[in-house]
Amino acid sequence: MFSYRHAFHAGNHADVLKHTVLIAMLHHLTQKEAALTVLDTHAGAGLYRLDSEFTETSGEAADGIQRLLKPTEGMTLAPALQDYLDLVASFNSKGNWRIYPGSPFIIQRLLRGHDKLKLFELHPTDTKTLMANVEQLEAGRQVAVLREDGFEGIRKFLPPPARRALVLCDPSYELKNDYARVAAMATEALKRFPTGTYAIWYPIIPRPEAHDLPRKLKTLATKAGKSWLHATLTVKSSKLVADVQGETKRPGLPASGMFVINPTHTLKPALQAALPQMVTLLAQDRHAAFTLDAGG
């Protein structure tokens, strides 16, 4: 069974990148009247407590979203980062950062009444929590929680009725096979629904599959004649570090990327302004950096 629980990582630098991209695209996609279908292949629990035992042990939000609360002097946050911060703030009472909304709640907050959201989650505890959290929304048939494999499950919803869809694919990559499954899912989804927007998060770690994934996705998008955008955010070196006992250990997730096929045209300028600020605010050492490429 899966051991990954997003509660340990909620609000970390990877969430800052992923959720900023997600919000920026949803703002644009919900401008057009026609209904939008959003498929979240790996939904998680939906809501996280920043003061729970999970998040407190790892403290990842402290080096993530909470650093955005103290912009460096003279810095005005880029609109995409401000939108992200405002959306998370709207789940909290003023100045009291207790709740972090995961992708299901971020998405639902930005949808209109006629849009649809399908949430896939396999972990038994997280599925139960997600269902209970979603019930509180009283969103009726707008939101569906499916305890199914997200890679497979999205097939039946593509193409969507109004031919407008955003797919967020955010696996935990606990299983090495997840990298290959992401590429296979994108290949098939593009065949079923070539005009959908596909946003894929991946970790940048010293593992061949992690390095190959964005290259594979770029080849895939290019061959299909689709536009793409690739953004990465590094907050620290990936080199092994020595702990107080002098033992070497991995430094925790140093970097991650978002690869988007058929991105909204507003995404690139939004990230051009936001990524340098993410680097300034989230840097943990001198290796902090970003990349932003697009094509097609």
The residue number with the shortest CB distance to ligand SAM is: 102
- Closest contact distance (angstroms) between CB of 15 and ligand SAM is 6
- Which is the catalytic residue, given 15, 170, 212, 293? 170
Q: Of 174, 211, 168, 210, nearest to 189 (Cα)? A: 168
The identity of residue 113, as a single letter, is: G
Q: CA-based angle 258:11:19, to the nearest 5? A: 35
- Closest contact distance (angstroms) between CB of 150 and ligand SAM is 4
- Measured from the CB atom, the residue of 44 and 214 that comes closer to ligand SAM is 44
Instruction: Give residues in contact with ligand SAM (CB under 6 A).
Output: 2, 4, 6, 18, 42-44, 102-103, 120-123, 126, 149-151, 170-172
149 a catalytic residue:
no
Q: Which two tokens stand for residue 41?
A: 């292949």
- Measured from the CB atom, the residue of 43 and 260 that comes closer to ligand SAM is 43
Query: Which residue in this structure is represented by tokens 């955005």?
Result: 68
Q: Of 218, 199, 207, 156, nearest to 179 (Cα)? A: 207
CB neighbours of 160 closer than 8 A, spacing ≥ 6? 35, 37, 116, 193
- Measured from the CB atom, the residue of 136 and 219 that comes closer to ligand SAM is 136
Pairing of strands 197-203, 255-261: antiparallel
- Closest contact distance (angstroms) between CB of 108 and ligand SAM is 12
Give CA 79 to chain center in angstroms: 18
- Measured from the CB atom, the residue of 67 and 118 that comes closer to ligand SAM is 118
- Closest contact distance (angstroms) between CB of 242 and ligand SAM is 29
Active site residues: 170
